[in-house]
A = this chain, B = another copy of it.
Amino acid sequence: MIFTTKAEYGVRLMVELGRQAKPGGAATSLKAIAAAEALPLAYLERIVALLKKAGLVESTRGAHGGYRLSRTPAEITMDDVVLALEGTVAPMNCFVDDTDGSSRVLCSHESDSGHACATKLLWLRVQGGVMEKLAQTTLAELVEFSHREPAATASALKNEQEDLTHA
């Protein structure tokens, strides 16, 4: 399992906000999103707090308040979202995230044995692959994808999968 369901819910929440993206328009209440996606409201509150702290989302309090995206969906890449929720995308606990956000490699097993920690090479590659895919995917893309019919999405996903396999 690469990501937690917190990330799943967070992405789903962002997509739902993207669907109602009226530029300066009305905010969407969490309750509406929770109902639309059948997700626990109380838990969503905690998740959206992370998104807000990361500056991906704005809020207006009080009655008829809610949340809206602080950027257009096309300007939001999924590494922003996942990083805000997961804190860091590290394959292993060797990886300690640094101040600049890019994870540095600090492997404890290195000094013990005389030789280098070969697994670093592998985990670094994997992490690079993940971050690459996350950065390539924009929220606008997911929003557009969610507008299709479920039948159409199946074949679309199949194509993606094939593209990946013989890439």
Interface residues of A (CB under 8 A from B): 1-3, 5, 7-8, 11-12, 15, 36-38, 78, 89-94, 102, 105, 109-110, 112-113, 115-134, 136-137, 141-143, 145-150, 152-153, 156-157, 160-161, 164-165, 167
The secondary-structure label for the interface of chain A is helix
Pull 17 A–B residue pairs with CB atoms less than 8 Å apart, ordered by A.
Answer: A1-B90, A1-B91, A1-B92, A2-B2, A2-B91, A2-B92, A2-B127, A3-B123, A5-B93, A37-B109, A115-B147, A116-B152, A121-B142, A121-B157, A122-B134, A122-B137, A128-B160
CB-CB under 8 A from A147, the residues of chain B are 115
Known A1-B90, A5-B92, A129-B133; contact A119-B12, beta-carbon cutoff 8 A: yes
